Structure formats: structure tokens, C-alpha cells
Amino acid sequence: MLSIRKRTLLALVLIMMTVLAGGCWDNKDINHRSLPIVMGIAKRNDQYQVVLQIPEPGLGATKLRVVEESGRTLNEIVDRISTNMESQVDLLHLKVVLFEREYAEEGINDSVESFMRAQDISPKTMAVICDEPLTSFFRTINSFNKNNGTALISFFEKNAGWNPQVSQAHIWQLYRSIHSYTHDTAIPIIKSGRGTVIESAGSGVIRGGRLVERITSNETLLLNAFNGISTQGKIEVMSHATVEIVSNTIAHQSAVVNGKPELKTRVNLKVSLLETRGQPTMDQIKQELETLLTNRFGELMAKIQSKQADILAAGQYFRTKLNRDQLRRWRTDYFPKMAVDIQFNIVIQNAGHLKADA
């Protein structure tokens, strides 16, 4: 009787192992998959053009394969590329999506909606605008001998080549801005460089999924500071001094007065003095930097208020002060007339990287 029980138990274990092993029947070895790290998207005459940059590890170096295809939908194009390649295309490791500028001006809603609906790529994938035709961009960056496929990725990595003058936007943030009443998005704009692989061309203002305005790299710095992103390492050159930003903090107070939104913002900056011209006092340097940043912020506000694009997400500070119907009209009725009182409190932390004379 004991032997029958053992045989029955063994049979059940074997059946369970067979069922569990069958769960991996459609798993493909990584050697049989192609893992693009960059996807470029353009649109011409209702036809999408897709460019995939695929690294191919080799002996001593990583080669880059650039595959191009066109079609009516993104899924159709990727499926066709996968069919024609010797391995299956897997987009889950995609790091950057490049939208050609003309397509961004037309509107990238369909692509963003498709990405979020199909979940073929990670929502954390970086979204970037390319300020030149995709074909020439990829041809140029691939011509650099030291480009092993990570140059574009490293450009946006905070622990690599990212600079506080460069904005950052992810696919999920674009999707949020399309459906949000009070939050638009700034997306970095790049092009191929002359002496460098990539060159920053400021940021694009995305409203409702369309590129409606461009801001400079200096204005992007203020945008990052306004949104609480560290601007450490940025160097500001003025008439009488050059300073480096060491740290920054920000605080906001919002109110609605007679139906008009008002926002008070205080930006605290710690800077290090690197160089002086002449013999300016510390108060003169502070005043000069405060004036420079205040005027620059005024130019930024004028741009985005004229386009009704709240990339500062200022509307978030009024969500408890306006009802839902008012928030729905935030961009058109409230944001263009919002008054912003911004003050920069400058603290010169030291006299530079050199110690003062004893």
C-alpha cells in the first residue's frame, strides 16, 4: 500500500513539473532578439517613418545597425522590421524616442497613445525632439568612431552627460500632459553636433501633444529650477563676475484674488564666485545676478503665457482653489493672466575654489 502511495505522489510531482515547465514555451533566448535602444519617428503624407538604432556586440567593439521602414501605423512597421530580420525586435529596452520636429509640430498624440495602450515600450522611455531629418541625424552620430550606441543615452543620464540646461521628459509625462488640465511638458530638442556627437537646441513646449513654442537653454535652466530640479554646476557669466550654482531650493504660495490667480515664488540660490572683472562688491554681484535671472524668467513667462502652455505646472498650486470647471479652463482663462511675483535670494557661499590669503 505504501508503494502505491509513493508512486501516486511521484506521478503528481511529475505532472506539476510538466505544467510549470510549459509556462516558458514561448520564451526566446536573448541571442535571438534584437534590442533597439533608440527609435526615431517621422511622418510624411500620412505615412510613418521609423528608424531603429540597434547595437550589435562584437569582438572588441559594439557595432550599430540602423534599420528604416515606413508604413501606416507604428505597430505595422515594427512587425515588418521584425519579420525581415533574423531575430525578433523587442522594444522593452528602448531608452530614447526621437520625434522629428515637423511631426512634433503636427502632433504626436497618436504615437504617445499607442505606446501607452500597447505597452510595447517602457513609460519611462525618454522623449526627445530631433531638429533635423532623422536620416541625416543618425548618419552623423553613427560616423563618430567612439560612438558605441550609448552617446545619445548618456546625454540625458544625470550621472553621465546631463546638464541642468537640458530638460527631461518621459513618455508617461507626455501622456499626462495630453490629458491634464493644468500640466504641460517641455521636451528637449537636439541635433547632431559638429565637434561633438550631439548638440542641445533648447527645449520644445508641448501643449496638447503639439510643439507650440521653443525656449532657450538658459530658460530651460529656470524651468528646471522652478520644478525643483537641481541646477548644481551651471555657470552664469555676467558683466562683472562669473558664478557657479552650488544648490537651489524653491517655495511657492498661491492665491486667487478677484478671480485672478497670483503666485509668489522664492528661489534660494547658493553660488560660488569663480571670477571677477574689476572690483565689484558682493552686493553688486548679487544684484546683477538677481536682475539677470528675473528678466530671463519674465521672457520665459511671456512666451508660455502667449501660447497658453503651462510647462511650469503652476496650475497644480491652484487645484484646491478652483473648482473642476474652472480647472478645465485653466489654460485659456486663468493661466494667461496669472501674476507671478518671483524673487531670487542669492547667497555667495565662498570666494571661489581657492582659499583667501592668510
Secondary structure of 145-168 in the HEC alphabet? CCCCCCHHHHHHCCCCCCCCCCCC
pLDDT classification of 111: cutoffs 50, 70, 90: very high
* pLDDT of 357 strictly over 50: no
pLDDT digits (tens, 9 = 90+) for 282-325: 888 899 999 999 999 999 999 999 999 999 999 999 999 999 99
Q: Count Cβ neighbours within 10 Å for each residue of 304-316 and write b for 16 or more, e otherwise.
A: bbebbbbbbbbbe
Task: Tell me the per-residue pLDDT of 27-53, one tens digit each, with 9 for 90 and over.
Answer: 555 555 678 889 999 998 889 999 998
Distance between CA atoms of residues 78 and 52, nearest Å: 9
Higher model confidence: residue 263 or residue 14?
263
**Maximum Cα interatomic distance, the chain, rounded to a whole number of Å:** 103
Whole-number Cα distances in Å, 3 to 12, 14, 15, 17, 344: 14, 17, 18, 21, 84
Please, which residues bridge with residue 213 across strands?
205
Q: How confident is the model at residue 146 (pLDDT cuts 50, 70, 90)?
A: low
Nearest CA among 265, 248, 269 for reference residue 338:
265
The single residue listed with the C-alpha cell 531608452 is 95
| For residue 226, pLDDT beyond 60 | yes
Using the predicted structure, report yes or no on whether residue 151 has a pLDDT greater than 80: no
Kindly tell me if the per-residue pLDDT of 358 is higher than 70: no
pLDDT score recorded for residue 356: 42
Answer yes or no: is pLDDT of 79 > 80.
yes
- With contact defined as beta carbons under 8 Å apart, do 241 and 277 qualify? yes
Residue 352 has pLDDT above 50, yes or no: no
As beta bridge partners, residue 237 has 242
Confidence (pTM) = 0.84
pLDDT category at 14 given cuts 50, 70, 90 is confident
pLDDT of residue 42: 95
At 297 the pLDDT is 93
Domain 217-358 top-level CATH class: alpha beta
Q: Is it the case that residue 351 has pLDDT exceeding 70?
A: no
Ordered by start, the domain boundaries in the chain are 29-215, 217-358
In the structure, what pLDDT confidence band is assigned to residue 192 with cuts at 50, 70 and 90?
Answer: confident
Q: Which phi and psi (to 5°) does residue 22 adopt?
A: -70, -15
The predicted pLDDT at position 353 comes to: 46
User: Which has the higher per-residue pLDDT, 93 or 143?
Assistant: 93
In this prediction, residues 127-133 reach a mean pLDDT of 94
Please give the mean pLDDT across all residues of the chain.
85
- At which residue does the C-alpha cell 548679487 appear? 286
Report the distance separating Cα 63 and Cα 130, nearest Å.
Answer: 22
Q: Please check the confidence at residue 263 and state whether its pLDDT lies above 90.
A: yes
CA angle 179, 334, 265 (to 5 degrees): 95
> Of 195, 249, 190, 223, which Cα lies nearest the Cα of 304?
223
Per-residue confidence band for 355, with pLDDT thresholds at 50, 70 and 90:
very low
Check pLDDT > 80 for residue 134.
Answer: yes
